[in-house]
Structure 1
Amino acid sequence: MKIRVGQGYDVHRQGEGEELWLGGIQFDHTHGLIGHSDADVLIHAICDAILGAANMRDIGYHFADTDPQYKGIDSKILLADVMKIVRDAGWELGNVDCTIVAERPKINPHIPNMKECLAKVMNVDVEDISLKATTSEKMGFVGREEGMAVHAVALITKA
């Protein structure tokens, strides 16, 4: 059995009046994330981790932010496509472990809903998805609430 690990990282700027999507769940918050798609920074980092583990480049390679067909797209669609790409190549997800870095809103109360949503999209067990949240202690662009960041690690296997 082959085992591989991939790392993903993504950031998005925050903007007043924008929608905030994290892990496929819409948050009620005054500031959302800005991007070509729905700017779901968590899903984007997960996609990069899985694609990286499979040695299949990154989310921008597969879904270019210059391509109008992805303008405003629901990132859950991109994640489902990533899962199909890696499964078609014979890989299966072992687990993902993610850290969401944001000052506000509070993420922890939403983690169970995000895990359920991601598990459905990825067709995996909820326990295969680990989500954690932290702040940057008011330092840097996250601390100033100019954006959010996510670090993700994925383990994949091939029989």
Structure 2
Amino acid sequence: MKTEETLTPQGALTEGGMHDLLGYQLAQAAILTSEAFTRTVGQPLGLRKVEFTILQLVRANAPVTAARVAKSLAVTTPGVKVWLDQLEQRGLIARERGSVDRRTQDLRITRKGDALVSKALTALLEADREIVRDLTEAERLMLLQLLQKVAHRRKG
């Protein structure tokens, strides 16, 4: 017998063995979060997910180096520098000579970047609450804690 829990959210197809796959369930949930991001931040604020993430990481950890941001995102330093260049050109972050190691550059968020990421974060938190509205507050917190615990397996 097919139950609602073993059918795809749209199309009502049996998930089969995928039902118990973390990656599959994360991908299904990501459809909702991606749509919410596009609707609340991407289109109205002109930010991509990676740009928002970088801005928030810089905002919360300034001064921070490009290498630390890259490591946090599991990308190469040259790869993250492309995004940093674009954010700097838009006046959202600033680079300064490193305070500890003068050979490095510290990243800081600008006032313009701070205002933008603050607005984006507020919108995303509201959108997230709507996505998980069928969960109790305890379930929402548990979901976040469990996902964070899984993500922290990346430590190395």
TM-score (norm 1): 0.25
More RCO (CA 8 Å, sep 6+): 1
The structure with the larger Rg is: 2
Higher helix share: 2
